[in-house]
Structure 1
Amino acid sequence: MIDFEWYRSFISIYKHRSVSAAAKARILTQPAMSQHLAALEAEIGEPLFIRAPRKMVPTDKGKELYTKIVPLIENLENTTLEMLHSSSSKGLAPVIRIGSPAEYFTKRALSSIQHLEIRFLAQFDVASILLEKLEKDEVDLILTTQKSQHQGIEYRKLEVEVFVATAPPEYETDAKNAEEIEQWLLSQKWLSYGLELPIIRRYWREHFNKRPDFQPWHVIPDLRSILEGVENGLGMSILPTYLLEKSVQENKVKVMFPELTAENTIYAAYKVDHKNNPILEKVLDAFKLNN
């Protein structure tokens, strides 16, 4: 029995004229792609490509198969999308699976998509794990600060987060120049997202041209919990401004040295193969309108 994935691999090889390029586009290993092609050729009973140096040249049978199956697969994909719309019209909205850092989804992303007639399944994790989930088709879309070089994945810039030094409201200093500011910061207790001081390192490089030379007092892998810790006087941290608005207004925290900031770009990432999905496009448009 022919596996549908063999056809998808065949089409990718046909378009790219290369097994390795097709494998990268489909986010598969080259041996897996070769196995798909070999299995399909065994079922067809004829070679579909001539293996030339650095190029796969389709045979007449390969050209014939490509011409016949591409319209069928496109029709199958369109039928699936029509069924999604049909389900929506019957009161069952379509679903999209979104991976994101928990705090960003809660404080920023959720408000952008809450008005859409789309159901969403959210998964929270760090950027590296979210990318793995996207590659394995466990999510349809991820929100991430890391832009990888994986072929077959497309990125859209959503916004630039601005991070500032955040401390309990009773903290005071008369430090003015960079050296004095750094010395004052080094004398404080720090709350960090991880032992490697993510974002704190960027803040230090940006303003003091060096790596921070200290260990965090507390490590809490959730920015919302770090903010709670700062509010309760456990120390200070570098946090995004969107997370601080209410706390600053209520005088639960204060921004130290507001002229010193660090930035982090947020991207939406998805597989190129899915870029024409109207549900995905609607969600991306919603993010764009709100940033």
Structure 2
Amino acid sequence: MRTFLAVVRCGSFTAAAQTLGLSQPTVTAHVRAMEADLGQQLFERGPRGVVATSVAEELAREMAEHVDALAAISRRGREPLATPVHLAGPAELTSLRVVPALAGLSRRGLRLRVGFGLADDLLAGLAAGRFDLVVSTVRPRLRGVSATPLADEEFVLVGAPSWAENLDLSVDPVTALANVPLVAYAEELPIIRRYWRSVLGVPPPGRAAAVVPDLRGVLAATAAGIGITVLPRYLCARALAEGELVALLEPEVPPINTIFLAARTGTTGLPHLAAVRSVLLEAARTW
């Protein structure tokens, strides 16, 4: 059918063969096969090529849209960025760092599909084939999943300026922070608990005053003065620079967490995934 349409459009078996990258005998054989199947003559020879019969013209009008659409689908498989990339990660990092880093690939045709969630759920989805790449805040330990370190995120204890003015952390920060309300993204205080144990050597006091299941919401609640919290520095850097938040402690060795880029073993060489991985690994150097 593609050969038939090419002959109709080119008006020549020779020109159609050049357009399709086929030999002229092959083009002739394709047309003869269609004529035999239809029981109709499709072309008449003219002084400068061939002329489509009325039957061929009607057939071309009916099939052109569909054959062209199928040809476009077929070409996608040969275009490195045509296959959709299903990528997932934590909502904040993925939204603020990962997706913007892929803007250049998107302009070149990347088809990106993004999901959010917790690391364990996303890694399980990766292993099950629901995702192609996962930005994970924990090291994957699933069979069939490989991971590359992407970046380190540094954690900062922050509060609104009003809290900073009323807290004296120079002598005994554990006591000074004992009754300060906490803002967290989960009841278990995951980031806060890690910071307290790493920097202060004790578990955090009490429960969270506010739980907001998105670190961007935690930042907003903290800037509004609800309490203090621990945030990745990349997320609160602007608020710190603009004075909306204040770093309450500056430990000599701040807690960090390594972010990983995970994929199913054996898939990283696929052109569309290799392109995304390369861009993210390069961009992450500045994160």
Q: Same fold (TM over 0.5)?
A: yes
Give the letter aligned to residue 133 of structure 1.
G
Give the letter aligned to residue 261 of structure 2.
A
Any unmatched runs of 5+ in structure 2? 1-72
Structure 1 length-normalised TM: 0.66
Q: 2:274 aligns with which of 266, 281, 284?
A: 281
Give the letter aligned to residue 103 of structure 1.
E
Is residue 201 of structure 2 the alignment partner of residue 205 of structure 1?
A: no
Q: CA deviation at 1:208?
A: 2.2
Deviation digits for residues 127-151 of structure 1, max 9, x if unmatched? 1110121122111010011113212
Structure 2 length-normalised TM: 0.67
Q: 2:168 aligns with which of 171, 174, 178?
A: 174
Q: CA deviation at 1:87?
A: 7.9
Any unmatched runs of 5+ in structure 1? 1-79
Residues 76 and 83 in structure 2, CA contact (< 8 A), matched pair in contact too: no
Aligned to 1:247: 239
Closer/same/farther in 2, CA of residues 109 and 197 from structure 1, 3 Å limit: same
Aligned to 1:76: none
The number of aligned residues is 206
| Distance of 2:76 and 2:142 partners within structure 1 | 31
Residues 151 and 258 in structure 2, CA contact (< 8 A), matched pair in contact too: yes
Aligned to 2:103: 114
Q: How does 1:75-154 map to 2 (within 5 A)?
A: 83-86=76-79, 93-116=82-105, 117=108, 118-154=110-146
Partner SS state of residue 143, structure 2: coil
Give the letter aligned to residue 104 of structure 2.
H
Residues 223 and 239 in structure 1, CA contact (< 8 A), matched pair in contact too: yes
Closer/same/farther in 2, CA of residues 145 and 81 from structure 1, 3 Å limit: farther
Partner SS state of residue 274, structure 1: coil
Aligned to 1:233: 225
Closer/same/farther in 2, CA of residues 131 and 280 from structure 1, 3 Å limit: same
Deviation digits for residues 197-248 of structure 1, max 9, x if unmatched? 1111111111222322311111111000000101111111000111112212
| Distance of 1:81 and 1:198 partners within structure 2 | 48
More moved, 111-120 vs 237-246: 111-120
| Distance of 2:173 and 2:240 partners within structure 1 | 21
| Distance of 1:255 and 1:83 partners within structure 2 | 50
| Distance of 1:283 and 1:148 partners within structure 2 | 19
Give the letter aligned to residue 208 of structure 2.
P
Closer/same/farther in 2, CA of residues 248 and 213 from structure 1, 3 Å limit: closer
| Distance of 2:74 and 2:158 partners within structure 1 | 46
Closer/same/farther in 2, CA of residues 82 and 191 from structure 1, 3 Å limit: same
| Distance of 2:250 and 2:75 partners within structure 1 | 51
Partner SS state of residue 288, structure 1: helix
| Distance of 1:136 and 1:81 partners within structure 2 | 27
Aligned to 2:177: 185
| Distance of 1:146 and 1:249 partners within structure 2 | 29
Q: CA deviation at 1:263?
A: 0.9
Identity of aligned residues (%): 27
| Distance of 2:159 and 2:127 partners within structure 1 | 39
Larger Rg: 2
Residues 184 and 229 in structure 2, CA contact (< 8 A), matched pair in contact too: yes
| Distance of 1:110 and 1:254 partners within structure 2 | 28
Partner SS state of residue 161, structure 2: coil
RMSD of equivalent CA atoms? 2.0
| Distance of 1:81 and 1:246 partners within structure 2 | 46
Deviation digits for residues 235-286 of structure 1, max 9, x if unmatched? 1100011111221222211111123632111001110031211211111111
Residues 127 and 142 in structure 2, CA contact (< 8 A), matched pair in contact too: no
Give the letter aligned to residue 207 of structure 2.
Q
Aligned to 1:259: 251
| Distance of 2:194 and 2:268 partners within structure 1 | 32
